[in-house]
Structure 1
């Protein structure tokens, strides 16, 4: 008899909050307020924050970064140069190659994505990595 089920690892609301808290702490340490968005595997919002002083339009780019990482299972910067502009245009800005989008994988399974925006690309990635470290025991980078 075939087993048609699979085990699912769930990022709980407590995990989302831990990720947001760690991301905020990293952003505060660098002095750069950020927009931080966490989505599930289908791109639906799990949690977000726009820190005081973060650029309001960066909320949209952070969401696109999170959804892109969740969709491709890789950092947003993994999108090849040749398709960066066309994929952004084809998706109405829903996909982006801007730095700051990271996948959240548990046990080799892509579950979620996080996107960070409002700082430099390096700052955005550093804040995203801090969030991933908050659940490191189960997360692969």
Structure 2
């Protein structure tokens, strides 16, 4: 067979992930930059909350891209390989915490990246958004 079926993240799905992340960040009192990309690392949704660091715009996007590309949290890249991967990808891959893949039945459909707090805060917001994503998936009719 020359084709394979694919599940795709919609803009509505990306907005739901973004909204969940923003709600989690607001509850923590930590303004964040939040990026959601599809499986091909195309930016689907982005928001810089009031008070979030301007330089975290790029890191949030790169965290989302790293998670979508690798299918793993962005903080898991090995310390030895991280500089080479960053150089080889023109800085698009990062070892910074705060990026998580969006998975459906083991298939990567996208990634979320959060930046502007500490690495642990960024990861906590991303985890809340991924949990909301999975909860919404369970609610969808088959």
What TM-score do you get using the length of structure 2 for normalisation? Answer: 0.89
What is the Cα deviation at residue 22 of structure 1?
0.9
What TM-score do you get using the length of structure 1 for normalisation? Answer: 0.90
- Consecutive aligned runs of 4 or more in structure 1 exceeding 6 Å deviation: none
Pick closer, same or farther for the CA change 1:52–1:41 going to 2, 3 Å: same
> Which position in structure 1 is the counterpart of 2:93?
95
Alignment of 1:58-77 (within 5 A): 58-77=56-75
> Which position in structure 2 is the counterpart of 1:11?
9
- What is the number of residues matched between the two proteins? 137
Partners of 2:49 and 2:88 in 1: how far apart? 30
- Summarize deviations over 1:42-84 as a string: whole Å, max 9, x none: 1111101000100011010001101111111101122111112
What is the Cα deviation at residue 17 of structure 1?
1.4
Computed over aligned residues only, the root mean square deviation of the Cα atoms, in angstroms, reads 1.5
Partners of 1:112 and 1:30 in 2: how far apart? 25
